A and B are shown apart, each in its own frame.
Chain A
Amino acid sequence: MSQTEQNIPQKPNRRKFLTYAGAAAAVIIVGGVAYYIGTSNRQTSTTTATSTLAPTTVTSTSTLAPTTVTSTSTLAPTTVTSTSTLAPTTVTTTTTSTTTKLAAPIDFWSPPWGDPTLQKNLINGYVAGYNQQTGNAATWEYLDWTTTFNREALIFEGGAAPDVAIGCFTSTYAPRSTATLGLMPLDDYVNTLLNQNDYAIDLTTADPGLDYYFPDSIAPGGHNWWAVPWFAETCASTYRKDIFEQNNITPPTTLDEQVEIGKKLTNPSGGVYAMGMGWGDPVSVCNNWSYTFLAMGGGDGKGGPYLEPDANGIYWNSTKMAINNDAAKASLQYWYDMVWTYNIVSPEVTSPTYNAESDFMAGKALWFTAPAWVGADINSSAPQLKGKFDAFMLVKDATTGLRGASIVYCPYYIYATTKYPDACVDFINYLNDPARELTIDLQYRLEPLKKSAITDPTFLADTYMKVFVDQINTGEVHAIPPGNPHSQALVASSTGPIYNMVMSVLSKTATIPEAIATCETAGNAILAQPV
């Protein structure tokens, strides 16, 4: 009894002490852990990347019989046969794998291009084939675009990175890469590929210059290539051949013709708007406006992007937007008129969920600008339109004679954190094997850059694809997005300046001069940020 009496007054004090001590300890521990973890995985090195791949191990061979090559992928629900006759002189890509015999477990990430589920079947087959051929253990992970952007951002914070990936906005990632983080410079590898002389466009000597066609691959620091070019992507206008023929109309070639034909064919009260404008996604909106802007002589007047180049004509170090000009005003006015004056484009164009492709498939739009892979979509999702659609090249401006277009492509990256650079190179070479690449191009309607693919009869037989390829090759193509470290912030963000400019004009919430001024201020602020 006396014990409990003695204990009771003591207990509250002890309890109080324990409580406070426990709370203090918890705070200290959490604070300490937070500090430790917060500082430990920050990359603090500012060295620029110096690692390149040793040129000797980089060669991939597959000697293809000069007559016919049949490749069947049995993992796809349909068997794909591609025949290509390749002139024996021009095409030799040689692969000699000098990697070790240990199975290299490479991670390959890619976002959707073209039809996501078609893509899965084909790429799974190729990855398995690669593993079989080289004895490596490559795995493929498919990420939707949202997750792709998330993962990329986390990688540059020190997060998990794959070995090989297909990405976009290289110009944003390259300057943020170091020797141990981010992308690995690939000058030697890509130069070897260029020397094989199989690219339809001469990437090394093209005028106006390397960063013009492939700004995504260029970065300062003494390196030219941070990614392996793969396919080109330009937009053309997919249109209803049957309706045009019914009305005895030939596809337009100039901006004015486009307006005239639009006026003739549009029927808003019947629910039909003649022209569709891609998607409500910021990248699509920026592209669609840029075509007109560049055709009208915007940018640097030669068709460059909407940035002011530095003294050497390079957009990389640009600090100012170059959109406060007549071409910008005229192009914004053109689109404003298309929507509100002539009712050629639906007012839904300002919605983030706008989808001209589904409008086209439902017959609510008669032509729309899009990359070539919509052809595959239409065939599978709108079989009633089979054979009724074709494509025409983007329209020129009659005065300047320019045609705005883009080569956007999603190149292969190799990450600096990889332990198996040689296996990565082999992997890329395997996927880029001409026969496989041709299969991918035909199945997904991607515009190839390789001469061997573009001149292949199977490929040429596809008149739809021919329009897109011709557009790339007619030489009046201009580069979007710009080769600038802030390209992602300028173009892909739904708070981005160009997207907001176009949307504010088209939704009638700002006049054209106001919109241009806002865009300039916001864009310059982004360009002024340190990289």
Chain B
Amino acid sequence: MATKKSWFPYAMISVAVIVSMVMNVYPLLLAIFMSFQNFVGSSNHFVGLYNYISVLTDPTFWFVFEVTIVWTILVVSFSGLLGLGTALLLNEEYRFRGIVRSIIIIPWVAPPVVIAYIWVWIYSAGFSPISDFLERVHLISGPIYWLSDLSIKVGPLSFPLLSLVLVGVWAGFPFVAVVFLAALQSIPREVLDAADIDSASSWQKFRHITLPLIAKVGQISILLSTIWTFNQFVYPYLMTKGGPLNFTDVLSVFIYQKAFTDFNFGYATAAAVVMTTFSGIFVALYIISSYRSLFE
């Protein structure tokens, strides 16, 4: 590591730092500033903690919070598993590997506006090809109400949310798959061959050689994926706008509605600050616990 010219690295990161300050620090400061105010007409009144109290005592906010956590856990775990599985699959040598690899990236590169609408169409009760297929093979007899069936629900978990989770996984797993694939392909062959010589089973190879070697990469990509999913706005908003009775309401959508439809900017920014604080705590804990592996 070069340590000679002391100003060079600072100069190189200066633009990134400035942009990051503009994009992240300034809005956060302004949001905190706005969250202590109430908007009456077009003038602001300083109201202290009123907004925070109304946010933290609002049962809808907590419900949406739970929905967001369930959403994040489900999407990250399923896309992580599916991504890992896909990467393992694509790591095998077979003829069409390259083509398949190119094809699975497509959900990640397609524009969300189009994807959201296609999935809405697919999830309609009357025109759903999935229901149609299931009916043709006589597995079901009536339409499935993908985005409206609230007959089975456990707290924040509901069938509409699961439908959305499927879309989230579909759109998110290619990224995870590519990252894991890259990691898998960097494992030196000699190590695996040595394990073969020692007649290790596939599972043992996977567990003791592969997993540790890709753990580092996995950690960072899972972390980024978690943050992105927690802050996800586009798919829930475009598809259900918060859904029937807040069952598909993710925090970002909820904050958006409060700000832009209800004109309640004080509440919205207070909720955003709470949301950021929560994810900040999570990330801080995460970084502290895996500091070594992340930055050594």
Contacts and interface: CB of A to CB of B under 8 A. Distances in A.
- Whether the complex brings A and B within 8 Å at their CB atoms is answered yes
B263 interface: yes
B41 A488 contact: no
A39 to B, nearest CB: 9
A509 B257 CA distance: 23
Size class of the A contact interface (CB-based, 8 Å): 35 or more
A34 B30 contact: yes
B259 A153 contact: yes
B151 interface: yes
A507 to B, nearest CB: 4
Contacts of B265: 157
Interface in B1-40: 6, 10, 17, 21, 25-26, 29-30, 33-34, 38, 40
B26 A348 contact: no
Given A364-B126, A503-B245, A508-B151, A347 B145 contact: yes
B114 to A, nearest CB: 15
Interface in A122-169: 149-150, 153, 156-158
A464 to B, nearest CB: 25
Contacts of A43: 42-43
Contacts of B17: 26
Contacts of B245: 500, 503-504, 507, 509
Contact of A530 (B40, B125, B258): B40
A172 B260 CA distance: 12
A157 B260 CA distance: 11
A352 interface: yes
Given A34-B29, A359-B126, A509 B150 contact: yes
B261 interface: yes
B147 A45 contact: no
Contact of A182 (B38, B42, B125, B127): B42
A271 B143 CA distance: 8
Interface in A42-89: 42-46
Contact of B33 (A38, A149, A156, A509): A38
A500 B241 CA distance: 13
Given A42-B44, A350-B148, A30 B26 contact: yes
A176 interface: yes
Nearest to A364: B126
Interface in B227-243: 239-243
Interface string B115-152: 00000100111110000000000000001011111110
B13 to A, nearest CB: 11
A169 to B, nearest CB: 10
Contact of B21 (A30, A158, A508): A30
A46 B241 contact: no
Given A348-B126, A352-B244, A495-B246, A150 B260 contact: yes
A175 B41 contact: yes
A22 B14 CA distance: 11
A504 B43 CA distance: 36
Given A38-B33, A353-B240, A507-B245, A156 B42 contact: yes
Contacts of A149: 260-261
B71 interface: no
A352 B147 contact: yes
A489 B257 CA distance: 9
A447 B260 CA distance: 29
Contacts of A504: 245
Contact of A44 (B44, B146, B150): B44
A494 B33 contact: no
Contact of A494 (B124, B241, B263): B241
Interface residues of B, number: 53
Contacts of A349: 148
B205 to A, nearest CB: 46
Contacts of A34: 25-26, 29-30, 33
Nearest to A175: B41
Contact of B38 (A488, A494, A530): A530
Contacts of A362: 126-127
Contacts of A526: 262
B124 A355 contact: yes
Contacts of A184: none
Interface in A1-58: 11, 15, 18, 22, 26, 30-31, 33-35, 37-38, 42-46
Interface string B182-223: 000000000000000000000000000000000000000000
B175 interface: no
A148 to B, nearest CB: 10
A529 interface: yes
Interface in B79-132: 120, 123-127
A352 B257 contact: no
Interface in A157-212: 157-158, 172, 175-178, 181-182
Contacts of B29: 30-31, 34, 38
Contacts of A358: 124, 126-127
A38 B54 CA distance: 23
B277 to A, nearest CB: 18
A495 B244 contact: no
B52 interface: no
Given A347-B148, A348-B145, A178 B124 contact: no
Contacts of B241: 352, 494
A369 to B, nearest CB: 18
A19 B282 CA distance: 29
A493 B21 contact: no
A351 B125 contact: yes
Q: Which of B29, B146, B249, B259 has the most CB of A within 10 A?
A: B29
A346 interface: yes
Given A488-B261, A488-B262, A489-B261, A351 B145 contact: yes
Q: Which of A18, A26, A34, A172 has the most CB of B within 10 A?
A: A34
A184 B257 CA distance: 26
A492 interface: yes
Nearest to A268: B142
Contact of A26 (B21, B125, B148, B151): B21
Contacts of A44: 43-44
Interface string A414-429: 0000000000000000
A342 interface: no
A158 B39 CA distance: 13
A347 B151 CA distance: 11
A5 B183 CA distance: 45
Contacts of B41: 46, 175-176, 178, 531
B40 A531 contact: yes
B166 to A, nearest CB: 15
A113 interface: no
Q: Which of B10, B242, B262 has the most CB of A within 10 A?
A: B262
27 contacts: A15-B6, A26-B17, A38-B34, A42-B43, A45-B42, A46-B41, A149-B260, A172-B263, A175-B41, A176-B41, A176-B42, A346-B125, A348-B126, A351-B125, A352-B147, A352-B148, A352-B244, A358-B126, A362-B126, A488-B262, A493-B261, A494-B241, A495-B60, A507-B244, A508-B151, A529-B264, A530-B40
Q: Shortest 8 CB-CB distances between A and B: which pairs?
A: A351-B148, A348-B125, A350-B148, A489-B262, A43-B42, A34-B29, A352-B240, A494-B242
Given A354-B148, A489-B263, 16 more contacts: A26-B17, A26-B21, A46-B41, A149-B261, A153-B260, A176-B41, A176-B263, A348-B125, A350-B148, A351-B125, A358-B124, A492-B261, A494-B257, A495-B257, A503-B244, A509-B245
